[in-house]
Amino acid sequence: MSDETRGKLRRTTTVGELRLAVAAARSEGKSVGLVPTMGALHQGHLSLVEASVAQCGFTVVTIFVNPAQFGPDEDLARYPCTLEADLDALARCGADVAFVPAAEEIYPAGHATGVELGGVAEPLEGQHRAGHFAGVATVVLKLFNMAGADVAYFGRKDYQQMQVVKQMVADLNVPITICECPTVREPDGLAMSSRNKYLAGDARQRALVLWKSLCLARRAVAQGQRDGETILRQMREVIRSAEGAVIDYAALVDPETLAGVARVEQPTLAVLAVKIDETRLIDNCLLEPPLE
Ligand code: PAF
């Protein structure tokens, strides 16, 4: 498809154009939904777009690979870019605007202000990817201010990111509602992620150990196991059974505070970050002990 054949989907590259498009929608009484992405769209992203299209009169999707959230040794340079296919998919989903800014539009020369985080940003990814969430929160706040949307859609796949954004919105009184959407999985359980594109050869198959270990944790809790260390030991064994799998962390945490828990007596989040060869994957699932 080309821009002409993508129906109502409009590609904008400047904040001015984006604001005009949103103002026109507002003047027609439409509510505005925002889906921030870094492109390389898959069904996980598209489920967020579909939720916005179903709930809001006007849907803006942003596509911007944000350099500020990548560390020096991370995959910024090789991050997948599939812009034309992304725009086709957004047109099919019924999105109204794709905001695809250049880096200078987001970070003009002299840009020097950022969001400082604490709380839920500190453990897990916060320990392993210094500066990552500050980069995420800063760009997300800027995108919120640029689009002026009513609702923004985030997936539970990046659970800690979603909690960081929720905390920022509450702490800084940002006038937007955060809508949480479920993780979308491949039929065999692999959580959809743009980074799955890196999984070459049999790495795709080996990556299933993340989902297998989360399923094992769920089964253990359903069968009455409550001891966190026992569950984590079993999870780590499953992950290490895959060649080339290196665990960054495997943890059981409180779903609100992300503080570690020793016993699974309440709903608890099992969270994982695992490298399969060079590809770092994250996943999580809620463990829900049956009520006694
Ligand atoms: O989840 C992502 O793709 C990114 O972290 C986000 C929220 C678009 C910010 O760059």
Q: What is the DSSP string of the chain?
A: --GGGSTT-EEE-SHHHHHHHHHHHHHTT--EEEEEE-S---HHHHHHHHHHHHH-SEEEEEE---GGGS-TTSSTTT----HHHHHHHHHHHT-SEEE---HHHHS-TT--------GGGSSTHHHHSTTHHHHHHHHHHHHHHHH--SEEEEEGGGHHHHHHHHHHHHHTT-S-EEEEEPPPB-TTSPBP-GGGGG--TTHHHHTTHHHHHHHHHHHHHHTT--BHHHHHHHHHHHHHTSTTEEEEEEEEE-TTT--B-SB-SS-EEEEEEEEETTEEEEEEEEE-PPP-
Asked whether 259 and 235 are in contact (CB, 8 A), the reply is no
Q: Calculate how far, in angstroms, residue 291's C-alpha sits from the geometric centre of ligand 1.
A: 36
Compute the half-sphere exposure of residue 56: CA atoms within 13 Å on the CB side of its CA: 29
What pLDDT is attached to residue 7?
87
Compute the half-sphere exposure of residue 52: CA atoms within 13 Å on the CB side of its CA: 32
Residues having CB closer than 6 A to ligand 1 are 36-38, 66, 69, 136, 139-140, 158, 161
What pLDDT is attached to residue 100?
98
Tell me, yes or no, if 132 is annotated catalytic.
no
Catalytic option among 42, 45, 111, 132: 45
Look at ligand 1, atom 2, and give the residue with the nearest C-alpha.
37
Which atom of ligand 1 is found nearest the CA of 143?
9
Start-end ranges of CATH 3.40.50.620 in the chain? 3-181
What pLDDT is attached to residue 228?
98
Asked whether 259 and 123 are in contact (CB, 8 A), the reply is yes
Radius of gyration of the chain (CA): 20
Band (pLDDT 50/70/90 cuts) for residue 3 is confident
Whole-number Å distance between alpha carbons of 147 and 22: 7
Tens digits of residue pLDDT in 23-53 = 999 999 999 999 999 999 999 999 999 999 9
Q: Calculate how far, in angstroms, residue 66's C-alpha sits from the geometric centre of ligand 1.
A: 8
Q: Calculate how far, in angstroms, residue 183's C-alpha sits from the geometric centre of ligand 1.
A: 15
Start-end ranges of CATH 3.30.1300.10 in the chain? 194-287
Q: Which residue among 65, 139, 153 is best mutated to probe the pocket of ligand 1, counting the most ligand atoms within 8 A of its Cβ?
A: 139
Mean pLDDT of 46-62: 98
Q: Which residue among 41, 69, 184, 280 is best mutated to probe the pocket of ligand 1, counting the most ligand atoms within 8 A of its Cβ?
A: 69
Backbone φ, ψ for residue 276 (5° rounding): -110, 110
Q: Which CATH topology does 194-287 take?
A: Pantoate--beta-alanine Ligase; Chain: A,domain 2 (3.30.1300)
Mean pLDDT of 193-203: 95
What pLDDT is attached to residue 6?
85
What pLDDT is attached to residue 1?
82
Q: Which residue among 60, 161, 179 is best mutated to probe the pocket of ligand 1, counting the most ligand atoms within 8 A of its Cβ?
A: 161
Look at ligand 1, atom 8, and give the residue with the nearest C-alpha.
37
Q: Which CATH topology does 3-181 take?
A: Rossmann fold (3.40.50)
